[in-house]
Structure formats: C-alpha cells, structure tokens
Structure 1
Amino acid sequence: MKRAFDQPDEANLVRQLRQDGAAKIEHVAVEGEHIVGHVMLSAMESPPRSLGLAPLSVAPEREGEGIGGMLVRAGVSAARRQGWQAIFCLGEPDYYEKFGFTAEAAAPYPSDYSGPHFLMGWFGKKPAIAPADYAPAFSGISV
C-alpha cells in the first residue's frame, strides 16, 4: 500500500480503521506470495448503513490490469450481501461510474469532500439525506 501511494497515510488509515472497529469489508488481491491490491470499506458516521470506500490500492507495476476493478466489485458485492444501503467514495468519476457511483447521487449529502469527485452508489432504498461523514480515522488524511 505504501508503494501505491508513496506515503504512509493510507497504511496508517487502514491500521486506525481496523483498530477503531470501523473496517467492515476488506479484500486483498494476492499473486503467489505478493499482495498486489487492497480495498477497504469502513462504516460512515453518517448517513446510517453507509460505507466509505477507501483506500483502494494496487501495486504500481500492476496498475491497468483490472485488479482495482476486481477489488471494487468484490467490495460492492459484499456490501450488498451484508445489507448496507450506500457506499461513498472520493475518486475519478470516469473510473468509479463503471461500478455505479455518481456525483449526482452524492450531491444531496453535505460533505467536506462535496464536488465532482465525491461519489455515491446505493442499493435499493437511498439513505435519508444527512451529512456524509467518514469514520473519525479519516480526519488526519489530506486529500
């Protein structure tokens, strides 16, 4: 993960989310003895029954091979099976729209991250409009 981001922030975020009990879904892509990708979805403070998808990381030498997409699809599928209502993420719209995330869906939910890169996907009934607040561990991460 540190190699994918060139800084320790995301690895520290994962550690803190696990420690706080906020990490709800986590998938790792492994090839042989090497981790080549990772995704975590953590419980949002608000709205209820919502997850934040972050971080998503892929080994730099493996980018463009579909590993990230496989991890996102696995996370979304697990969230649906577990009964979560929505997933928020901050990222490139052209990438995440392939998985059902849109800025239009996220727009009604006030957030420090509001804008064209703040996205949401939902399953069935949309969550009630409320501030989109990530787990406290995100407060130390700069975007």
Structure 2
Amino acid sequence: MKLSEYIKKRNGVPIGHPNSLRNNLERSLGANNFSTFWNFWNPIFGYYLGTKVFRPLKKIFPSGFSLVLTFVFCGLIHDLVTTVIRGEISLFFAVWFLLMGICVVISKGINYNLSNRKWIFRALINLLIIGICFFLTKGLNTIFNFY
C-alpha cells in the first residue's frame, strides 16, 4: 500500500485535505481501544514505522515484541530531536513510548472494546493511558535520570 492510500484509509480523506487533522484527532482519540488509537495517530509517521521498522522486526521477533521495539525506536527518534535541541542526551521519550507500547500489547491481549461507549469516554480513556504512561516515565526519571 502506498503512503497516500494508507493516509486515506486512516483519515478517510486524502493527504492534505482540510479535514485531515480533524478526522485524525476524532478517529484516534475516539478509538475503541488503545491499540486502535495508535492505528490512527500520525498516519505518515505510522506508515513509515510500520513498513520500515515493524515489518522487518516481525520477521525476526514475535509480533508483540516487535511492536514494543517499534515504539522504543519511535521514542528514540523523538529523543534524538530533544538531544539535539537541548545539547544533552535524553531517553525520556524512549521510556515513555516503551510503556505505551507495552500498553498497546496488553490492550491487544485483553481485547477490550469500548465501541459501545460515547466518543468522549473513549477519548478520555485513551488520554488517560497516555497520561499514566507519561507520569510513570516522570517517576522513573526521578529514580534513573533519563534526561
């Protein structure tokens, strides 16, 4: 699948469409579970992570482990930008994304589905998981000093 097809599948509109961002936020935040949230979030980055990182890793490792490694890789890319800007090595995003990747694997494993709930409830749950992972990372950072 080409990038343009992937984006249209995820956002419901072609790349560059005026409703692209709105659709992305509505679909990702209102996703039925945390795993599906990540299917919709940032489709351009997701496309390249999926095709260039996850798929090759999946040939070597089990799917769940490959998914977590892909999240860590994504976090390391974010950390690289932070490191360049700050001039100090940072691993905050790698740890945060590691925790979120684990949550994705767990959500796939328990197969919970909030589709019968209102959009706002689903959005709050997805944001809550992101927030919990963030605050766990902040707490771990005070112990291990990632940045």
TM (norm. structure 1) is 0.29
- Larger Rg belongs to: 2
**Structure number having the greater helix percentage:** 2
TM (norm. structure 2) is 0.28
